[in-house]
Amino acid sequence: MSSIWLKIAGIAVLAVVVIVVVGRFQSDKPAAGPAAPAESRSAERPRTFSDMADRDKQFATAPKPTEDQPVEQQPAVVTPPAPPPSQPPAPAPAQPVAGGVVLPSSITKTTTLYFKPLSEEDDIAAQQLLPWAATGRSIGRLPMMSYGPMVKACRDILTRWPDSSYAFQAKRMLEDISTSSRVGGFNITPQEMDISRFLKPRQGTQAIRVEPVQR
């Protein structure tokens, strides 16, 4: 009888040892790492046509004066006061490239430019034409499509309102397409992209702050 109880006790001890060993083995397994945040997954996702079309919407509207930027025109005779001798001159907002041409991509931070306001009739017409050009910018990205409608609309804006903020946006779009399309496809000249005329106040212009292009 005693041998039977000894066998039962031995089996019970063995079972306890097995349970302890199995529990120890499971506790040694590394825990699964936290799931990658949605932001990182979206950052790794390649850009789609929809993403780029949303990006192109920044070209669809011209920069406008804000509340702290007066709309009245600047007289030609008024010049800004010279800085005190102890202060270095303010850095230029954009740097010219070869031939004195200043490209829109040289705007890398918030910069004050100077544009001539349009009449109400011209402003309405420009507001209709600029989004058409921006839509053509997006459509031109698709296979077998052309930037032709965009380039035509931009050149129309440059011809009709060359000193306006709409012309500035048109110049941005012309520079934003690939070099092969600019040079080989549509013969876009550096002068068509030049924004140097907007860097300094001129008669009849108003100051407007512009932001860099979002890449």
DSSP per-residue string spanning 24-69 = HHHHTSPPPPPPPPHHHHHHHSPP-HHHHHHHHGGGSS-----TTS
% of the chain residues with pLDDT over 90: 43
The C-alpha atoms of residue 96 and residue 212 are separated, in whole angstroms, by 16
Q: What is the DSSP letter of 151?
A: H
What is the pLDDT, as a whole number, of residue 74?
46
pTM of the model: 0.64
The C-alpha atoms of residue 16 and residue 179 are separated, in whole angstroms, by 76
Contacting residues for 78 by C-beta, under 8 A, at least 6 apart:
none
Q: Is 7 helix (H, G, I), strand (E, B) or coil?
A: helix
The C-alpha atoms of residue 48 and residue 140 are separated, in whole angstroms, by 14
Residue 202 in tokens: 């001129």
The C-alpha atoms of residue 73 and residue 210 are separated, in whole angstroms, by 18
Mean pLDDT of 66-75: 53
CB 112 within 8 A of CB 209: yes
Tally of residues, the chain? 215
Report whether pLDDT(127) > 90: yes
Mean pLDDT of 158-170: 97
β-pair partners for 193: none
What is the pLDDT, as a whole number, of residue 180?
82
Contacting residues for 51 by C-beta, under 8 A, at least 6 apart:
none
The C-alpha atoms of residue 76 and residue 31 are separated, in whole angstroms, by 72
**How far does Cα 34 stand from its chain's mean position?**
32
Report whether pLDDT(154) > 80: yes
Q: Which pLDDT band, with edges at 50, 70 and 90, does 24 fall under?
A: low
Listed by start position, the domains of the chain span 49-79+94-210
Q: Which pLDDT band, with edges at 50, 70 and 90, does 151 fall under?
A: very high
What is the pLDDT, as a whole number, of residue 205?
95
CB 176 within 8 A of CB 73: no
The residue ranking higher by pLDDT, 95 or 92, is 95
- pLDDT, the chain, mean: 76
Q: For the purposes of burial, counting CB atoms within 10 Å of the CB of 156, is it exposed (0-12), middle (13-18) or buried (19 or more)?
A: middle
Mean pLDDT of 93-98: 58
